[in-house]
Structure 1
Amino acid sequence: MKLGIVTGIPGVGKTTVLSIVDKILSEKNIPHKILNYGDYMLSTALKEGYVKNRDEIRKLPITKQKELQILAAKKIVEELSTIGDNGLGFIDTHAVIRTPAGYLPGLPKYVIEILSPNIIFLLESDPKIILERQKRDSNRTRLDYSDINVIYEVLQFARYSAMASAVLVGASVKIVNNQEGDPSIAALDIINSLIL
C-alpha cells in the first residue's frame, strides 16, 4: 500500500479535494481508503468526555492532544492494513495545529513513525481564497484562523512542519495548489503523484 497524508489549513478544501480523489479512484476500481485523522481523535475525545465538538480538540492541554494523536495513528494504521498491497491510502489532517499554547505539530515523530507515509501533501490556496472559504463554511467555528496574517503564518509553519516530519521517515513533500473553481486539478495531482 502507498500512503499519502493530505494536509492543509482549515478552509483550504481538503474535504472537497479528497471527495474527488475518492470518486476518481472508485470509478477506476483502484482499492483505496480515505481516513480523516480528526475523526479518529474526535471519537476518542468524545468518548472520554474531553470535548463537545471537533474545534475544541485544539484547545485541549497539549498532553491530551498528544494522547489523542497517538491513539488515532494506531487505529488508522490498523484500518489501512485492510486495503492490500496494491491499494492507496489517504489521511486527511493538518501539518500544524494552532493552539493557545502555540503551534503543535500535526505529524510529530511519535505519529509520523507510526503512519510512515510515502508522501506528505501540502494542499494550499491563496490566503484570501482560504479566508473566503472559511466564511462560507457555517458548520465550523474557526475564529482563531479568521485573520489573513494568521493564515499566512499557518501556511509557513505547515511547510516547515511537513518537511521536518518527512525527514524522519524518508517521505517526500509535495505542494498542491487547490485552484478556486476546479478542485479536480488538485485531486488528479495527488493521485498521480502517489501512483508514481
Structure 2
Amino acid sequence: MKLGIVTGIPGVGKTTVLSFVDKILSEKDIPHRIVNYGDYMLNTALKEGYVKNRDEIRKLPIERQRELQALAARRIVDDLSTLGNNGLGLVDTHAVIRTPSGYLPGLPKHVVEVLSPNVIFLLEADPKLILERQKRDNTRARADYSDIYVINEVIQFARYSAMASAVLVGASVKVVVNQEGDPSIAANEIINSLM
C-alpha cells in the first residue's frame, strides 16, 4: 500500500479535495481508503471524556494530545492494512496544530514513523481565500485561525514541520495548491504524485 498524508490549515479545503480524490479513485476502480486523523483522535477523546467536540482537542494539555496522536496512528495503520499492496491510503490531518502552548507538530516522530508515508502533501491556498472559506463554514469554531497573519504563520510552520517529518521516514513533501472553483485539479495532482 502507498500512503499519502494530506495536510492543510483549517479552511484550505482538504475535505472537498479529498472527496474529489475519492470520486476519481472510485471511478478508476483503484482500491483506496481516506481516513481523518482527527476522527480517530476525537473518538478516543470522547470515549475517555476528555472533550465534547473536535475543536476542543487542540486545547487539551500537550501530554494528552500526544497520547491521542499515538493511539490514532496505530489504529489508522491497522485499518489501512486491509488495502493490500496495490491500495492507496490517504490520511487527512494537520502538519501543525496551533495550541495555547504554541505549535504542536501534527506528525511528530512517534506518529510519522508508525504511519510511514510515501508522500506528505501540503494543501495550500491564498491566505485571503482561506479566511473567506473559514467564514463560510459555520460548522466549526476556528476563531484562533481567523487572521491573515496567523494563517501565513501556520502555513510556514506546516512547511517546516512536514519537511522535518519527511526526513525521519524518507518521504517526499509536495505542495499542492487548491485553486478556487476547481478542487479536481488538486485532487488529480495528489493522485498522480502518489501513484
The TM-score normalised by the length of structure 1 is 0.99
Q: Structure 1: how far apart are the matches of 2:36 and 2:170?
A: 22
Counterpart in the other structure of 1:64:
64
Q: Structure 2: how far apart are the matches of 1:175 and 1:40?
A: 25
The TM-score normalised by the length of structure 2 is 1.00
TM alignment of 1:135-174, pairs within 5 A: 135-174=135-174
SS at match of 2:83: coil
TM alignment of 1:104-115, pairs within 5 A: 104-115=104-115
Query: Where do 5+ consecutive residues of structure 2 fail to align?
Result: none
SS at match of 2:153: helix
Counterpart in the other structure of 2:39:
39
Count of aligned pairs between the two proteins:
195
TM alignment of 1:1-196, pairs within 5 A: 1-195=1-195
Once the 2 structures are TM-superposed, how far is the Cα of residue 125 of structure 1 from its aligned partner? 0.1
Amino acid at match of 1:146: S
1:145-178 Cα shifts (integer Å, max 9, x gaps): 0001000000000000000000000000000000
Q: Structure 1: how far apart are the matches of 2:175 and 2:85?
A: 26
1:36-74 Cα shifts (integer Å, max 9, x gaps): 000000000000000000000000000000000000000
List, as ranges, runs of 4+ consecutive aligned residues in structure 1 with deviation greater than 6 Å: none
Q: Structure 2: how far apart are the matches of 1:31 and 1:186?
A: 20
Amino acid at match of 2:122: L
SS at match of 1:180: coil
Amino acid at match of 1:138: N
Query: Where do 5+ consecutive residues of structure 1 fail to align?
Result: none
Q: Percent identity?
A: 82
Once the 2 structures are TM-superposed, how far is the Cα of residue 91 of structure 1 from its aligned partner? 0.1
SS at match of 1:50: coil
Once the 2 structures are TM-superposed, how far is the Cα of residue 8 of structure 1 from its aligned partner? 0.2
SS at match of 1:82: helix
